[in-house]
Amino acid sequence: MARYSYKAVNASGHVVEGIKSASSRDSLFDSLKQDGFLPISAEEAKAGLSAGGNLSLSFGKSGLKPADIVVFTRDIATLLDTGLSLDRALTLIAKLNHKPLLQAMTQRILARVQKGLSFAEALQAEGDIFPGQYIGLVKAGETSGKLDGILVKLASHMEKSQELRERVNTALQYPVLVICVAMVTLMILMTVVIPQFQPIFEEAGNQLPLVTRGVIGLSVFLQNYWWAIPLSIGGLILCFVLDYNRPEGKKRWHGVALRMPILGNLLRRADTARFCRVLGTLLTNGLSALDAFDLSLQTVSNQTLHEAIGKVRKQLERGEGFSAPLRETCALPELASHLIGVGEESGNLQRMLLKIAEIFEGEVRRDLEQRIKMLVPVITIFLGVLVAVIIGSILSAILSVYNLPI
């Protein structure tokens, strides 16, 4: 099965775009016609996982936001939990939702379900809007007859992830504002204020302190070559992006990030939490170990960890457990590997995986909040010291020019 990026005309006469799996271009067109679309064009999509590879979805060109999918998932879960059928729940959501994009998506999914497709198949037809592990969880819920429960857990997990992202973004606004204001202030200080003292120092002809000479030299550079700084930063960012978009470059940078003292530990714990959360949920709802492992592996966003954990599959095919192979890879934190072993020995692997996810999700959340809280005082102290050095160097030079004691 290949994935195709297509353009088609819907029943309302509007051109829509999407991504869908099909055995051939002709079968794709047949499938689109059955769904009520008039195909225009189709090209084979490039393979590859989204950068995140987790439940914080990648929406491509759909125009939908993560919060929209969270709302959709929560609404479906709530309505199914009240005893409504799937098509009735989708009909209500399509009628009551006032966001055009989300309403149109719900109507497309409803049309597919009414034509006999399963909910998982209807979601999969939306292309990259719903990642593989989302569809896998829905499929597991349909197979086990616990779709409402699966969707409730999925919505709760997505809401927590969304809440954490919003809290991080909100917490970062003030530090970013402080940095921007400080950079503008320093730029004015170096290009407007410091140059006013240069004639005084030149007329005096005295040997200036080393720090003062450095500050004045930097001031002269910024006056004449200020454009080199944004140009250099832009060039470095461009080089990084180009290298990161190459498979070997992405793997290299992911390895570098994993080796960083603070960031590496944070990334490892975040991937561990996602992997264990999805694996535990899938196993609880009756998926085989191999299928659950394959879907859970998609949540591991770091390429280095992804490859290391992926090697465990061979042992699983031979009927071995999770704990020993995972411990050999050293990909997961030692605590996680140990608890997985305890879960296998006690026969409560599913519950233990979910417990591990809770532990590391809590650690990541607390660690992020603590690091962000530390940003403001650290930035303030650093900028205060920097300004003090600049002003102090000028004052010491003025005092030396007029032979005044410091």
- What are the residue ranges spanned by the domains of the chain? 1-47, 172-406
- pLDDT tens, residue by residue, 257-315: 999 988 899 999 999 998 998 888 888 877 788 888 888 888 888 999 999 998 888 88
The residue-averaged pLDDT of 383-404 equals: 82
Q: 43 - beta bridge partners?
A: 5
- From CA 301, how far away is CA 107, in angstroms rounded? 32
pLDDT band at 41 (very low <50, low <70, confident <90, very high): low
Which helix (H) or strand (E) segment holds residue 113: the answer is helix 100-114
- From CA 268, how far away is CA 104, in angstroms rounded? 38
pLDDT band at 182 (very low <50, low <70, confident <90, very high): confident
* Rounded to 5°, angle at Cα 195 from 193 and 199: 130
For residues 141 and 73, the answer to whether their CB atoms sit within 8 Å is no
pLDDT band at 49 (very low <50, low <70, confident <90, very high): very low
- Tell which residue, 276, 271, 269, has the closest CA to residue 339: 276
What pLDDT sits at residue 44?
Answer: 67
The end-to-end CA distance of the chain, in Å, is 79
For residues 340 and 356, the answer to whether their CB atoms sit within 8 Å is yes
| Winning range, highest mean pLDDT, from 33-47, 229-243, 381-395 | 229-243
For 233-254, give the secondary structure using H, E and C.
Answer: HHHHHHHHHHHHCCHHHHHHHH
For residues 3 and 19, the answer to whether their CB atoms sit within 8 Å is yes
The residue-averaged pLDDT of 142-155 equals: 83
* pLDDT, mean over the chain: 83
Answer whether residue 340 shows pLDDT above 80: yes
What pLDDT sits at residue 52?
Answer: 37
- pLDDT tens, residue by residue, 7-38: 776 666 566 677 777 777 778 777 877 877 77
- pLDDT tens, residue by residue, 94-118: 888 778 888 889 999 999 999 888 8
- Distance set, CA 66 to CA 69, 140, 160, 183 (Å): 5, 22, 12, 33
